[in-house]
Amino acid sequence: MEHIRMPKVENVRLVDRSSSRRTHVGTLYLTATHTIFVGEGSEDRNELWVLHSLVCNVVKHKASQSGYPLLIHCKNFQVIQFIIPQESDCHDVYISLSRLSRPEKYEELYCFSFNPNVDKAEREHSWDFLDLKAEYSRMGLPNKLWHVTPINREYRVCDTYPADLFVPKSVTLPVIVGSSKFRSRGRFPTLSYYCKENHATICRSSQPLSGFSARCLEDEQMLQAIMKSNPGSRFMYVVGTRPKLNAMANRAAGKGYENEDNYCNIKFQFIGIENIHVMRNSQQKLIEVSALRSPSMGEFLTGLENSDWLRHIKSIMEAGLFISKAVAEEGVSVLVHCSDGWDRTAQVCSVASVLLDPYYRTLKGLMVLIEKDWVSFGHMFSHRCGHLIGEAKEVSPVIDQFLECVWQLMEQFPCAFEYSEKFLISIHNHIYSCHYGNFICNSQKERKDLCIKEKAHSIWLHLWEKKLDFMNPLFKPDQSQNQGLLRPSTAPYCFKYWRRLYNRFDRELHPRQSELDCLMTVKEETQQLEEELALYEQKMAVLDKERAKTLYMQKGVLDSKQALWSLPLDISLANTPQDYIGGAPNVFTLQQGERESAELCLFGDQTKSSDADNSDQESGVADFSSHSSGEESLPSEDSVKDPDSDETGPNRA
């Protein structure tokens, strides 16, 4: 609270990014957790809520004649521009927001103040919703070859690993300890995925401290044991996910990679994925491209190419594909590592898992996978997502890339996933929002020390309860090509720009009608009809019995229930015109005023065109905007209004 210099500013203008001519006047409020903009006017709820934890940076722009512009870039790629009439107000808001969006302590994060109306039992239940033990037993573990080692129960061997870890039964505790001493940060090789059908595994670790010649007997024994725990194979792959040059350079620092001569029966494979710094810069360039206002086709494609983003996505996909093929087709176990084993390793293991196991292509499966490979194995969410003020160089979109790989797969296999891209986008949003406790801190130990489970809530149950919003109507689990290993093409044209994520809030860029939403409605309705039919048949059966007892019949009047079955397909039918004029700005000056008023719809939904009664086509536009609030649940979910604001209360300071 003490950081809020200016709780309320009036006469602020919110600029619509798609057309800087459109602005909305209203009042800006700063609360402890949100920036809230309330538009003026007769419309009841024109509000924009932005969580402070989603704010990436705040920039003051040069004063214009209408006031002092303030630009807020969010981690979910929303960009908001306010124009504040007074310079001092603008500065105060800027200072306050800059501080509020960079918390110094975990305790300042939103998840600790977020208090939905649920009791303790329900909160605990939300944490119990996912159970990693159940996940391992789904894989078929423990079994006669693999068991849980108690060695890291107190996080003493490796403080970034989870407490429960699967290792081959044949390795002894001293071997584990020895191996962990030979690995960066003590992250010794441990199991990530087990393939029931052929006993092949995906294991993960950090790099060995091999330098140019160092050896570690225990580590060699460890790998030998992993290889032998897959009775069907004579060798195993060790996949280094760094570019070879980087790995070799690391040897000079006493680190490096396994020497094939020292380890029996390993095949070392480099699959170059660039480091977090390269990825951060690449995404930054991509974001700049996505934010271009009416670029030419050439500018857009060149920008996309220069960002290198899709090249990186392809390299992660290829690494995942290599591993999944080794496991499924060759039946060979794989050990994956990068440097520390929490970024590229997590990406590659989880992409491979999605390719291998149809379970991870279901809603719950993806949640479990993220919980296992990312949360429990110590992906440093706080650093990578920049939850707290700190080292900017630690920030990197590592998990964004994983989600995008899944999205690219969904584009190639539209029937193989139970969830739609909305699910991925929602997860992405919550990873950064700090709304729930799951993605706070850098390791399981830190979360335990902070008592996250007692103080905050878990996201997964919340998403599960909203699962109808995330379903893919085309999902066909029984189709043979959707079972078992997915074999995506890695041809360059298969990697596409993810418009729904990067231009999530630019409504005018997205299709005006959604095929999937429409199909979902159709599907739900079919089911409903089936159920009702069944119900009627049941009732009929009961009544038929009654009929036998009855002595006389009476004609009733047909209650015309047909109206019930009319299709309520809520399809938005029209669209607002786009900016087709581009280079010829002086053409429509006469009509400008008229058009602007017709297009004015605050935040793109809810509002009806103010002068809709002018003519036929105007009513068409109004019709569209009123429809769209129902249709486009995506941007309105987290941005336009905070989805959980009802639970938190208005929070207005």
Partner 1 sequence: MELSEHIKTANVEDVTLRRPFHPALRGTLCVTSHHLLFSDRKDEASWQLLILLKNIDAIEKSVENLFGYPRAVGSSGTITIKCKDLLVLQLEIPGMEECLNIASSIEALSSLESVTEMYPFFYRPSHLTLNGPWGLSSTEQYYKQTERLWDRWRVSTVNSDYSVCPSYPSAVIVPREVDDDKLIHSARFRQGGRFPVLSYCHHRNGMVIMRSSQPLTGANKKRCKEDELLLQAVIDGSELGYIIDLRSAQQAQQARMTGGGFESKSFYSHWKRIHRHHERGKVVQESLIKLVEACSDPSHSVDRWLSKLENSKWLSHVHSALSTAGLVVECVERDGHSVLVHGSEGTDNTLLVSSLAQLILDPASRTVTGFLCLLEREWIQAGHPFQQRCAHSAYSHARLKQECPIFLLLLDCVWQVWRQFPLALEFSEALLLRLAQEVYASNYGTFLCNSEQERCAAGVKENTHCLFQSLLRPDIEEQYLNPLYEPTDLAIWPSVHPQSLQLWTGLFLRWTEYAQNMEEAREEVWSIVKEHHEQAGPDRTNNTLSTHCDTLTSFENLMDELTIL
Which residue among 87, 477, 573, 652 contacts partner 1 (CB under 8 A)? 573
Per CB under 8 A, which region of 57-65, 352-360, 462-470, 570-578 contacts partner 1? 570-578
Residue 425 beta carbon to partner 1: minimum distance, rounded to whole angstroms: 16
Nearest to 430 by CA among 403, 406, 394, 393: 403
Q: Specify the DSSP class assigned to residue 326.
A: I
Name the token pair of 531.
């159920």
Nearest to 336 by CA among 145, 443, 183, 141: 183
**Residue 19 binds partner 1, judged by CB under 8 A:** no
Residue 465 beta carbon to partner 1: minimum distance, rounded to whole angstroms: 25
Which residue among 301, 465, 477, 534 contacts partner 1 (CB under 8 A)? 301
**Angle, vertex CA 448, rays to CA 132 and CA 104, nearest 5:** 125
**Angle, vertex CA 609, rays to CA 605 and CA 612, nearest 5:** 145
DSSP string, 511-558: -SS-HHHHHHHHHHHHHHHHHHHHHHHHHHHHHHHHHHH-----PPPP
Cβ-based neighbours of 645, under 8 Å, separated by 6 or more: 34, 49, 651
In the complex with partner 1, the residue whose CB is nearer, 213 or 550, is 550
Name the token pair of 438.
């799951």
The dihedral built from the CA positions of residue 149, 153, 157 and 160, taken in this order, carries a sign that is: positive
**Contact criterion met (CB below 8 Å) for 344 and 247:** no
Which residue among 451, 581, 611, 650 contacts partner 1 (CB under 8 A)? 581
Exposed, middle or buried, 285 (CB in 10 Å: 0-12/13-18/19+)? middle
**Residue 574 binds partner 1, judged by CB under 8 A:** yes
| Three-state SS at 618 | helix
The reply, when asked if residue 20 is annotated as ligand binding, is no
What is the distance between the alpha carbons of residues 549 and 552, in angstroms, rounded to a whole number? Answer: 9
Name the token pair of 626.
């009123």
**Angle, vertex CA 397, rays to CA 396 and CA 400, nearest 5:** 165
In the complex with partner 1, the residue whose CB is nearer, 173 or 522, is 522
Query: Which of 338, 349, 385, 434 is an active site residue?
Result: 338
Per CB under 8 A, which region of 46-54, 204-212, 264-272, 564-572 contacts partner 1? 564-572
The reply, when asked if residue 229 is annotated as ligand binding, is no
The reply, when asked if residue 307 is annotated as ligand binding, is no
In the complex with partner 1, the residue whose CB is nearer, 412 or 610, is 412
Pick out residues in 265-294 that bind partner 1 (CB under 8 A). Answer: 290, 294
The 3-class SS string of 375-422 reads HHCCCCHHHHHCCCCCCHHHCCCHHHHHHHHHHHHHHHCCCCCCECHH
In the complex with partner 1, the residue whose CB is nearer, 156 or 547, is 547
Residue 38 beta carbon to partner 1: minimum distance, rounded to whole angstroms: 29
The reply, when asked if residue 275 is annotated as ligand binding, is yes
In the complex with partner 1, the residue whose CB is nearer, 122 or 579, is 579
Pick out residues in 619-648 that bind partner 1 (CB under 8 A). Answer: 620, 623-624
The reply, when asked if residue 644 is annotated as ligand binding, is no
Which residue among 299, 329, 465, 646 contacts partner 1 (CB under 8 A)? 299
The reply, when asked if residue 344 is annotated as ligand binding, is yes
- Residue 338: active-site member: yes
**Contact criterion met (CB below 8 Å) for 458 and 127:** yes
Per CB under 8 A, which region of 180-188, 310-318, 345-353, 462-470 contacts partner 1? 310-318
The reply, when asked if residue 340 is annotated as ligand binding, is yes
Partners of 69 in beta bridges? 83
Pick out residues in 498-527 that bind partner 1 (CB under 8 A). Answer: 499, 503, 506, 508-515, 518-519, 522-523, 525-526
Pick out residues in 161-190 that bind partner 1 (CB under 8 A). Answer: none
The reply, when asked if residue 46 is annotated as ligand binding, is no
Name the token pair of 190.
């441990």
Cβ-based neighbours of 472, under 8 Å, separated by 6 or more: 410, 414, 417, 418, 419, 420, 516
Per CB under 8 A, which region of 58-66, 362-370, 444-452, 543-551 contacts partner 1? 543-551
Which residue among 449, 530, 646, 647 contacts partner 1 (CB under 8 A)? 530
Which residue among 63, 128, 252, 565 contacts partner 1 (CB under 8 A)? 565
The reply, when asked if residue 342 is annotated as ligand binding, is yes
**Residue 577 binds partner 1, judged by CB under 8 A:** yes
In the complex with partner 1, the residue whose CB is nearer, 278 or 450, is 278
Residue 387 beta carbon to partner 1: minimum distance, rounded to whole angstroms: 29
**Beta strands across the sheet bearing 236-240:** 190-194, 201-205, 334-337, 236-240, 266-270
Which residue among 10, 104, 107, 305 contacts partner 1 (CB under 8 A)? 305
Pick out residues in 385-414 that bind partner 1 (CB under 8 A). Answer: 412-414
**Residue 653 binds partner 1, judged by CB under 8 A:** no
Say if strands 146-149 and 165-168 run parallel, antiparallel, or are unpaired: antiparallel
**Beta strands across the sheet bearing 8-15:** 47-51, 34-39, 23-30, 8-15, 79-84, 68-74, 55-60
* Longest alpha-carbon distance in the chain: 99
Pick out residues in 586-605 that bind partner 1 (CB under 8 A). Answer: 587-588, 591, 595
Q: Specify the DSSP class assigned to residue 213.
A: T
Residue 305 beta carbon to partner 1: minimum distance, rounded to whole angstroms: 4
Which residue among 177, 248, 415, 612 contacts partner 1 (CB under 8 A)? 415
Residue 46 beta carbon to partner 1: minimum distance, rounded to whole angstroms: 24
**Residue 556 binds partner 1, judged by CB under 8 A:** yes
How many residues belong to the site for partner 1 (CB under 8 A)? 95
Residue 346 beta carbon to partner 1: minimum distance, rounded to whole angstroms: 22
Nearest to 17 by CA among 288, 300, 291: 291
In the complex with partner 1, the residue whose CB is nearer, 261 or 478, is 478
Nearest to 405 by CA among 424, 419, 422: 424
Pick out residues in 445-504 that bind partner 1 (CB under 8 A). Answer: 473-474, 476, 479, 481, 489, 491-497, 499, 503
Residue 590 beta carbon to partner 1: minimum distance, rounded to whole angstroms: 9
**Residue 616 binds partner 1, judged by CB under 8 A:** yes
Binding residues: 275-276, 338-344
Q: Which residues are catalytic?
A: 338
Binding residues for substrate: 275-276, 338-344
